[in-house]
């Protein structure tokens, strides 16, 4: 009997809409969902069988050891590539390669690529015929620095790898599968009569664990969003948590335990693997990030800080947890974790954890949990204090379930205050201010009784042309549980003495009010506005982390010129960035932009430029190295003056990047007749070479302001001069040669570094 892999149109629409929004980070599209073909059947690879009783006996032992990864699948080492396995076919103007992988009674399957070097024009899907679930598309944007790529798990006993590529690539591709994971665990843990929807894809924990979405966990709905299950091959290695930094910039730093470490580049990080109810044991497995880079780790506090290879997309709705590395003893503690690979759970310690040493590390000791426990797979999970901030990560312990209750045993967590001085502060406090207490992002850590916060809105964006009256608004927010009825707001403009506003009103929690500051005249150059709020309801603010805000902007008060950058993007706007510099200082910059994935691109970005008199360098770069034109759209750029005339432009065929110089007074430069034979490279970065039609004279180099930078005398025997420009500031320079007979030869050159 033939298998049929097709689905109804309605089903495909639902699948496409679901996957494209929330799957492992992907770039749109759907696989073919073809019916089974003779070629697919004849090239199918079946994973070898194994002794289930022997595996079950081993699991009984290792499941009791918290520090040992929890196994849910068998890892099969293989070597599969398009040149050795599967089959190729020509479809819709593309070459398509497919390979079917099966495992008898497998509960789920995943794969690892030891080589994953897709280029533009090559993309890949992985799909499960039994369910219609799929991963992808993956393309050149999925390529990792380390060359490999691990995928999430798909439910079912068969998966199909489907590679599409332009015909110019032929029938070869730079991908190699070196591991296939055969999921088995849920079949061992459950009777055949148990409903399939009650089976967790990675396993199930003891009955005394508490689902994070039970009523007990309601107060932790924010922090749970940063917790992720770590899977490597056939093991649920550990748990970890996204952690904020003092820049609040969403850098995907991820905290786990040092003893969990294998190769973070081969880990898959599953977010939001939780059940929406209090009793269910299944959860989504379609929100994951593949791979990460270890930044720092140390056994002295059993911590590891990893940067994920990609920022979790907005659809994942993640939270970057706040932290407290001060070492202050909290009044209680909470753990959020994935015990035994299960859906997200929560446990509570109602007493104060305390300093101790365990297994050679400085730890927080939990004598026993009042509710819930941890298990193997929970290792690396965050310990939160009563203010909802991370203070450590799980190292080990003896806590476990005995039937439906916990065993009353201890657990211990590596201390963040120790990790702080072992390298964590470099990343979590990049400003170097030794800020050891910080709230979460984008949402705060916890509500306080009296908590007023301020932000600034309405400030000029970028550079402001000419003297102007500036009007700025302050947004006052009541983040506290008590209604906000009064507060003091102090503002400072360009370093002048502070001016105070006494605010009165009535704001419920999270309500805001707008306070307009008196207009002021901007000064030439940098302008700074600082605003602070104090004394909410006439008392000290319970949370000082959101009490101040500042903004900076620049103003050109002298003569300025209106220019414009017109940038036409190709399909891959995420690869494009640019900057405009004057005398080595960046005055404007932009990108990267959004991808369109429509094969055409064409989005036009217009940037108004306010420029002081002088000369500028425009740099544009493409991270992939194929410019803006022409295979994936006909992108280009132009710089126009105030009359709309094109001053400088490019057709977008520039590879990794290009640099062009332009001046606000282009007319005067057009009148300069360059009789220097050759000046190269232009722009230059290290050595500048000058070839002359005539010799016996002097070369003078001046910058855009007319200052002499270098001089060189030449005699009649010299027709070429070289200059070391590596120490020169970036910008535009004029090169003038004056001969002994008074002849002048002039050219211009740009310096970039």
- The catalytic residue positions are 259, 302, 379
Nearest in space to 341 (alpha carbons), one of 66, 70, 110: 70
- For residue 354, how many other CB atoms are within 10 A of its CB? 11
Q: 588-592: list long-range contacts, CB under 8 Å, 24+ apart.
A: 588/462, 588/463, 590/565, 592/623
Contact 576, 628 (CB under 8 A): yes
Handedness of CA 286, 290, 296, 298 (dihedral sign): positive
CA–CA separation, 339 and 485 (whole Å): 45
**Within 47-161, where are the H helices?**
52-62
SS3 (DSSP) at 446? coil
CA–CA separation, 24 and 15 (whole Å): 14
Nearest in space to 126 (alpha carbons), one of 45, 32, 12, 48: 32
CA–CA separation, 33 and 6 (whole Å): 5
CA–CA separation, 729 and 680 (whole Å): 17
CA–CA separation, 429 and 414 (whole Å): 19
Task: Indicate the DSSP class of residue 481.
Answer: S
Nearest in space to 80 (alpha carbons), one of 37, 38, 126: 126
By DSSP bridging, strand 303-308 and strand 292-298 are: antiparallel
**Within 142-223, where are the H helices?**
185-189
Q: What torsion, rounded to 10 degrees, do the Cα atoms 582, 588, 592, 593 define?
A: -140
Contact 374, 411 (CB under 8 A): yes
SS3 (DSSP) at 183? strand
Based on its alpha-carbon atoms, the radius of gyration of the chain, rounded to whole angstroms, reads 31
Contact 333, 387 (CB under 8 A): no
Q: 345-351: list long-range contacts, CB under 8 Å, 24+ apart.
A: 345/205, 345/209, 345/210, 345/211, 345/212, 345/372, 345/378, 346/210, 346/211, 346/212, 346/214, 346/216, 346/217, 346/220, 346/224, 346/372, 347/209, 347/210, 347/371, 347/372, 347/373, 347/374, 348/216, 348/372
- For residue 449, how many other CB atoms are within 10 A of its CB? 12
Beta carbons within 8 Å of 148's beta carbon, 6+ residues apart: 112, 113, 114, 115, 116, 265, 266, 291
């Amino acid at each position: 009997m033939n298998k049929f892999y097709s689905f109804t149109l309605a089903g495909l629409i639902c699948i496409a809409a679901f996957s494209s929004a929330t799957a492992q980070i992907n770039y749109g599209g759907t696989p073919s969902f073809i019916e089974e073909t003779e070629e697919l059947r004849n090239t199918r690879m079946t994973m070898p069988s194994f002794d289930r009783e022997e595996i079950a006996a081993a699991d009984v032992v290792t499941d009791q050891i918290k520090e040992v990864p929890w196994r849910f699948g068998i890892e099969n080492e293989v070597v599969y590539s398009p040149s050795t396995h599967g089959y190729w076919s020509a479809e819709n103007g593309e070459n398509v390669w497919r390979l079917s992988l099966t495992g008898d009674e497998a509960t789920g399957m995943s794969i690892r690529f030891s080589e994953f070097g897709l280029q533009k024009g090559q993309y890949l899907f992985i799909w499960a015929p039994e369910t219609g679930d799929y991963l992808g598309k993956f393309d050149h944007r999925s390529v990792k620095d380390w060359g490999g790529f691990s995928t999430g798990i798909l439910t079912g006993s068969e998966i199909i790898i489907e590679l599409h590529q332009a015909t110019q690539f032929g029938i070869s591709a730079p991908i190699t599968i070196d591991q296939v994971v055969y999921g088995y665990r849920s079949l061992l843990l459950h009777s055949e009569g148990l409903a399939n929807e009650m089976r967790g894809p990675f396993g199930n924990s003891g009955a005394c664990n508490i689902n994070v979405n039970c009523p007990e966990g309601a107060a932790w709905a924010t922090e749970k969003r940063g917790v992720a299950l770590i899977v490597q091959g056939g093991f649920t290695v550990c748990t970890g948590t996204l952690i904020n930094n003092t820049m609040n910039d969403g850098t995907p730093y991820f905290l786990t335990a040092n003893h969990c470490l294998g190769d973070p580049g081969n880990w898959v990080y599953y977010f939001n693997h939780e059940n929406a109810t209090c009793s269910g044991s299944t959860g989504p497995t379609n929100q994951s990030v593949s791979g990460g880079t270890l930044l720092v780790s140390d056994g002295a506090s059993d911590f590891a800080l990893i940067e994920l290879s990609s920022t979790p997309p907005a659809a994942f709705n993640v939270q970057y947890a706040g932290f407290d590395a001060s070492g202050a003893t909290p009044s209680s503690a909470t753990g959020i974790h994935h015990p035994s690979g299960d859906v997200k759970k929560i446990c509570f310690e109602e007493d104060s954890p305390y300093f101790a040493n365990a297994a050679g590390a400085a730890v927080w000791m939990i004598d026993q949990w009042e509710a819930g426990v941890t298990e193997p797979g929970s290792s690396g999970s965050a310990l939160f204090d009563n203010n909802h901030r991370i203070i450590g990560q799980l190292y080990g312990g003896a806590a476990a379930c005995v039937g439906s209750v916990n065993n009353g045993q201890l657990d211990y967590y590596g201390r963040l205050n120790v990790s702080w001085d072992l390298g964590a502060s470099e990343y979590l406090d990049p400003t170097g201010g030794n800020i050891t207490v910080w709230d979460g992002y984008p949402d705060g850590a916890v509500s306080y009784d009296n908590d007023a916060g301020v932000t600034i809105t309405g400030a000029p964006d970028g550079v402001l042309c000419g003297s102007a009256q500036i009007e700025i608004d302050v947004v006052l927010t009541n983040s506290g549980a008590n209604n906000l009825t009064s507060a003091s707001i102090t503002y400072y403009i360009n370093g002048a003495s502070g001016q105070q506003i006494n605010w009165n009103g009535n704001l419920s929690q999270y309500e805001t009010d707008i306070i307009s500051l008196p207009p002021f005249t901007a000064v030439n150059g940098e302008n700074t506005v600082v605003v602070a709020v104090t004394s909410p309801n006439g008392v000290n603010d319970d949370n000082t982390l959101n009490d101040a805000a500042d903004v900076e902007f620049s103003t050109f008060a002298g003569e300025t010129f209106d220019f414009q950058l017109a940038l036409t993007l190709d399909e891959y706007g995420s690869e494009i960035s640019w900057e405009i510099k004057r005398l080595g200082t960046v005055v404007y910059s932009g990108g990267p932009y959004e991808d369109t994935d429509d094969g055409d691109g064409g989005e036009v970005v217009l940037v108004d430029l306010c420029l002081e008199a002088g000369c500028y360098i425009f740099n544009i770069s493409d991270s992939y190295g194929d410019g803006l034109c022409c295979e994936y759209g006909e992108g280009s750029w132009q710089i126009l003056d105030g009359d709309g005339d094109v001053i400088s432009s490019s057709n977008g065929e520039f590879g990794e990047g290009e640099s062009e110089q332009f001046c606000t007074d282009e007319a005067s430069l057009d009148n300069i007749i360059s009789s220097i034979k050759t000046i190269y490279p232009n722009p230059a970065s290290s050595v500048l070479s000058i070839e002359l039609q005539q010799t016996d004279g002097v070369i003078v180099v001046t910058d855009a302001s007319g200052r002499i930078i270098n001089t060189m005398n030449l005699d009649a025997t010299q027709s070429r001069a070289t200059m070391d420009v590596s120490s020169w500031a970036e910008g535009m320079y004029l090169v003038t040669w004056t001969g002994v007979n008074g002849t002048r030869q002039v050219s211009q050159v740009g310096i970039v570094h």
